[in-house]
Structures are given as structure tokens and as C-alpha cells.
A and B are shown apart, each in its own frame.
Chain A
């Protein structure tokens, strides 16, 4: 089955700096890669996603890049703000079975004011 590895497990940055989180996946059939943000006591919330026919996608301060050959994808957050502090999860899916997701282990991002 699919295996998703995520690094780093914790990341501390100064407000205004950029943050980068990286993930690798094992199943070359995976074609959909969402990123979720989870705040304390809440469920994961989708922040951005990318499909395998696209190499990069950007939404304001958030961008995701995908390298299908190397089977890795990354989340980039620019101009970080304290409200960006949360746990971020990457995930991969083959788009079947209702879009079942396999998650990485998570990255705790702390943005220091």
C-alpha cells in the first residue's frame, strides 16, 4: 500500500519568514496530493491540493510543488503569521475508493511573533 513520509516533524520560524514542509510517497499510481491544517481540538482542514498533471499551484501565501519522478511534494508558506501555527499534514490518494487518503505523520509549525 501507499506510504507517505513527512519532514520535519517540528518547525519553528520567525514571523515573516518562509516555511517549507516536504513529503515523499511510495505509490506511483497516486495522483492527488492535498495538504491539511489541523488546529488544536479541531479536525483537519484542507488548505491546498494538487493533482499529478500539475507541477505547481499557488494560493496567496501558500504554494505546493510536485515532482512525480522523484515522488515528492512540498508545501511552501511565505510571510508566515502567528495564526499559521498549527499541525500540517500531507496526504496522497489514487483517486479511487471515494478518494481515500494516506496521511504523513504531520509537522508542527510554530511561528514566533
Chain B
């Protein structure tokens, strides 16, 4: 696709419900990231995939958060037993290459999924 596509754009969940957020990266992009953006703050790293391998999940706030990218393209971020503090915009980003030239690894972000937990 032309850009990074995320769905749903908006999700309202009752506390305790499970949610799944989907990311369709740009076709052929190797790297995929999930970020969490609380209201009025900068994005914070959650997890990183290189193809289907989850190489870094150090930013996931608890074991209620789980991400996967089984075929190296589409990724899903799942949050179990949602809490009010999970309310945020969840951003997905992808980049084309893996390598030591950071200028070539420009991250392109999707529009995000806004999660509101009541």
C-alpha cells in the first residue's frame, strides 16, 4: 500500500475487555514498530519486529500487552484485561531496510488507533 494503515482508528473498551489493534505496514518494509502516545506526550517505544522476529519488546508496559507479526507483514497488538491507564493512541511505524545507515531507515507512521478504556 501507499502508506501504513491501522485499524480500527477508534476503539472504546470497557475495563477488563481484550482489544486487538492491527497494522498493515508499507509493502516490503522489513522493520515494524509499535509506539504508545499518551495525550499531550511524545510517542514511547513498545516493541520492534524485523520481519517476523520480535527483536525487542522491552517497552511493553506489562504482560497484558502482546504483539505478533507471524508472516512478516501485518502486525497485531493485543491488550488483555484493559485498564484505564491503557487509554492512548497506539502508533505503528515501518521502515524499508535494516542496516547501519539510519538516514536510509526513515520511519513512516500510520495515523494510529485511539483506545479509550472506560
Contact = CB atoms under 8 A, between A and B. Distances in A.
Interface residues of A, number: 29
A101 to B, nearest CB: 6
Given A32-B103, A95-B102, A106 B42 contact: yes
Interface in B101-115: 101-103, 105-112
A70 to B, nearest CB: 20
Contacts of B106: 34, 46, 49, 99
B43 A44 contact: yes
Given A46-B107, A95-B102, A103 B44 contact: yes
Interface of A: 4, 6, 31-32, 34, 36, 41-46, 49, 51, 89, 93-106
Interface of B: 4, 30-31, 33, 35, 40-45, 48, 50, 55-56, 91, 93, 95, 98, 100-103, 105-112
Shortest Cβ-Cβ A-B pairs, 7 listed: A98-B31, A32-B102, A95-B102, A103-B42, A43-B109, A99-B105, A43-B111
20 contacts: A32-B103, A43-B109, A43-B110, A44-B43, A45-B109, A46-B107, A89-B42, A93-B102, A95-B102, A97-B56, A98-B50, A98-B55, A98-B98, A99-B31, A100-B33, A100-B48, A101-B43, A103-B35, A105-B41, A106-B41
